[in-house]
């Protein structure tokens, strides 16, 4: 009994040491988007609705592109577990190559953001503002995705604190830049939506700059020599990341399309409903960063255990991550239910014309947001554990089925056919995420039973 308690404490401690800085960095990353949403809510409801739409499209492009950084995590951690720094260096370099190539591909559709919004049935004034935002914010994709790949390196060598501090610096810069450029404070021009986009570019560039400084001057990183031969290809590493990252990208497309289409559906209902949806979704995304940090920690721990061929450590890591996730979910649900009105009100100017209506709609959505926390948490954490095992194709099929073929149609049926409106769209989230969580859990248990180390 005592031995069982001791291993649990030790396993939880290892997971938390890795997860807490990641949770912190993810939360700070989310704060960048929260800052845009809160300040645009102060600036105007129309501008808020436009940024919600534009940020949804930007986030889809970012998350899909981040699949290469995500694929690099288990590969680099496995190489680190085998004590192969050359393999780590090649993987990080090729991950950066793929991230830049991806940006060149997605820049044209982001440049045409206004046209895309009009095709999707959005109002002309909102589509125009969203296009203004995207034509500038798209430049932030390059540093943001390079940061994701360098993050894979710091995870592989278990140095998550660097990720935390560089993200913190970028988030602080974003707050001050938003305050200056959106409203025209401190002698800066009042740029509104465009100011928020410029602040986003500055903050991501600053985070990347700090990570590169760490790599250039940190003595403990000299053995990896990451900043040398950056233009030299290593095609096997390129193929390995592409092979593992492509299914991750498809999985993320299914998930982000699911949530991105919800913003479009809310726009069909009305500008005020879209604004309320954007606020609640930002709150949900903020809480999701906790689960994502645990998922990233799980991916790293599982990958290191596989690289070291340590079956016992693998099993302990899987259990500890899942137990900690359940505890985090319980805390988040309590926060959402107890402080729902205060959380939504923080995004609004109380003197604004539509503030009371936005608050009322947001409250109805917040209760559904609390309900889907368990499904949302478990699907991303178990998915992270599967990636640690190098399993990405099966989860891709599960995600596509759960999100695109079940969840999205349910959102439309509940919201428009059954005429439940915004709450109906959110009910589809619960169905899609819940099904994905159940199927991912089944697959992870099956893979563990078949795994031989």
Percent residues over pLDDT 90 in the chain: 34
CA 380 vs CA 269, 345, 400, 433: distances in Å? 29, 28, 14, 9
Segment among 146-150, 220-224, 318-322, 358-362 with least mean pLDDT: 220-224
The predicted pLDDT at position 452 comes to 62
Residue 141 confidence (pLDDT) above 90: yes
The predicted pLDDT at position 4 comes to 54
139 assigned to some structural domain: yes
Residue 6 confidence (pLDDT) above 70: no
DSSP label at 189?
Answer: -
Residue 425 confidence (pLDDT) above 80: yes
CA 135 vs CA 54, 130, 140, 142, 384: distances in Å? 10, 9, 10, 14, 32
Give the residue from 63, 55, 27, 56 showing the smallest Cα distance to 289: 27
E strand map for 190-244: none
pTM of the model: 0.78
220 assigned to some structural domain: yes
pLDDT in tens, 37-62: 778 878 887 888 888 788 878 888 88
Q: Do 378 and 332 form a contact (C-beta atoms < 8 A)?
A: no
The predicted pLDDT at position 2 comes to 46
Q: In sequence order, which ranges of 270-392 are alpha helices (DSSP H)?
A: 271-308, 311-338, 340-345, 355-371, 373-388
pLDDT in tens, 404-418: 899 999 999 998 999
Q: What is the Cα–Cα distance from 10 to 13, expressed in whole angstroms? A: 5
DSSP label at 307?
Answer: H
Structure tokens at 439: 């199927």
Phi-psi region of 317 (alpha: psi -120 to 50; beta: other; left: phi over 0): alpha
Structure tokens at 116: 């895309």
Q: Average of pLDDT values for 53-77?
A: 86
11 assigned to some structural domain: no
**Residue 349: half-sphere exposure toward Cβ, Cα within 13 Å:** 12
Residue 446 confidence (pLDDT) above 50: yes
Give the residue from 397, 427, 402 showing the smallest Cα distance to 414: 427
DSSP label at 229?
Answer: S
The helix-helix angle for 85-111 and 141-156 (nearest 10°) equals 160
pLDDT in tens, 283-322: 888 888 899 889 988 888 898 888 888 888 888 888 899 9
The predicted pLDDT at position 303 comes to 86
Average pLDDT, the chain: 87
5 assigned to some structural domain: no
298 assigned to some structural domain: yes
Residue 79 confidence (pLDDT) above 70: yes
111 assigned to some structural domain: yes
Structure tokens at 310: 């340590």
Give the position of tokens 């009910």: 427
Residue 332 confidence (pLDDT) above 90: yes
Reported confidence tier of residue 381, pLDDT bands at 50, 70, 90: very high
| Domain carrying residue 203 | 28-450
Q: Average of pLDDT values for 134-161?
A: 90
The predicted pLDDT at position 5 comes to 53
Considering only residues 112 and 452, tell me which one the structure prediction assigns the higher pLDDT: 112
DSSP label at 221?
Answer: G
19 assigned to some structural domain: no
Q: Average of pLDDT values for 171-189?
A: 90
Considering only residues 292 and 121, tell me which one the structure prediction assigns the higher pLDDT: 292
Domain count, the chain: 1
pLDDT in tens, 191-214: 888 998 999 999 999 999 999 998
Q: Average of pLDDT values for 248-261?
A: 84
240 assigned to some structural domain: yes
Q: What is the Cα–Cα distance from 204 to 437, expressed in whole angstroms? A: 32
Structure tokens at 383: 């998915």
The predicted pLDDT at position 3 comes to 47
* Those residues with Cβ within 8 angstroms of residue 90's Cβ, 6 or more apart along the chain or in another chain: 234, 237
Give the residue from 3, 8, 6 showing the smallest Cα distance to 317: 8
């Amino acid at each position: 009994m005592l031995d069982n308690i001791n291993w649990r404490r030790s396993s939880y401690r290892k997971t938390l040491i890795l997860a807490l800085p990641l949770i912190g960095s993810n939360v700070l990353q989310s704060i960048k988007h929260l800052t845009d949403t809160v300040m645009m809510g102060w600036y105007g409801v129309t501008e808020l609705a436009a940024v919600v739409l534009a940020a949804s499209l930007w986030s889809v492009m970012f998350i899909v592109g981040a699949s290469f950084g995500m694929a690099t995590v288990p590969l680099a951690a496995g190489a680190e577990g085998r004590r192969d720094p050359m393999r780590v260096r090649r993987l990080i370099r090729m991950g950066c190559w793929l991230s830049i190539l991806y940006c060149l591909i997605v820049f044209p559709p982001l440049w045409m953001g206004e046209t895309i919004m009009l095709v999707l049935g959005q109002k002309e004034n909102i589509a125009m503002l969203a296009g203004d935002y995207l034509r500038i914010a798209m430049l932030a994709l390059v540093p943001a995705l390079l940061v994701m790949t360098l993050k894979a390196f710091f995870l592989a060598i278990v140095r998550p604190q660097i990720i935390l501090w560089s993200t913190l610096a970028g988030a602080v810069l974003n707050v001050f830049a938003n305050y200056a450029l959106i409203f025209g404070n401190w002698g800066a021009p009042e740029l509104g939506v465009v100011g928020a986009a410029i602040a986003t570019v500055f903050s991501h560039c600053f985070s990347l700059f700090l990570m590169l400084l760490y790599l250039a001057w940190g003595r403990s990183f000299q053995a990896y020599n990451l900043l040398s031969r950056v233009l030299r290809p290593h095609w096997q590493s390129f193929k390995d990341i592409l092979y593992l990252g492509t299914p991750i990208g498809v999985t993320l497309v299914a998930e982000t399309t699911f949530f991105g289409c919800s913003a479009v559906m809310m726009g069909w209902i009305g500008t005020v409903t879209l604004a309320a949806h954007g606020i609640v979704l930002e709150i949900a995304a903020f809480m999701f960063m906790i689960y994502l940090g645990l998922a990233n920690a799980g991916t790293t721990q599982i990958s290191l255990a596989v690289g070291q061929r340590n079956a016992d450590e693998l099993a302990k890591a899987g259990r500890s991550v899942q137990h900690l996730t359940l505890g985090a979910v319980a805390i988040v649900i309590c926060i959402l239910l107890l402080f729902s009105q205060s959380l939504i009100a923080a995004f609004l100017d109380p003197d604004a014309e539509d503030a009371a209506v936005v608050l009322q709609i947001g409250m109805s959505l917040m209760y559904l947001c609390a309900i889907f926390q368990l499904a949302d948490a478990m699907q991303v954490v178990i998915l992270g554990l599967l990636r640690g095992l190098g399993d990405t194709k099966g989860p891709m099929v599960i995600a596509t089925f759960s999100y695109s073929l079940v969840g999205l149609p349910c959102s439309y049926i509940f919201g428009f056919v059954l005429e439940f409106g915004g709450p109906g769209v959110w009910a589809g989230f619960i169905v899609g995420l819940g099904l994905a969580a159940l199927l991912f859990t089944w697959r992870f248990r099956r893979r563990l039973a078949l795994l031989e180390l």
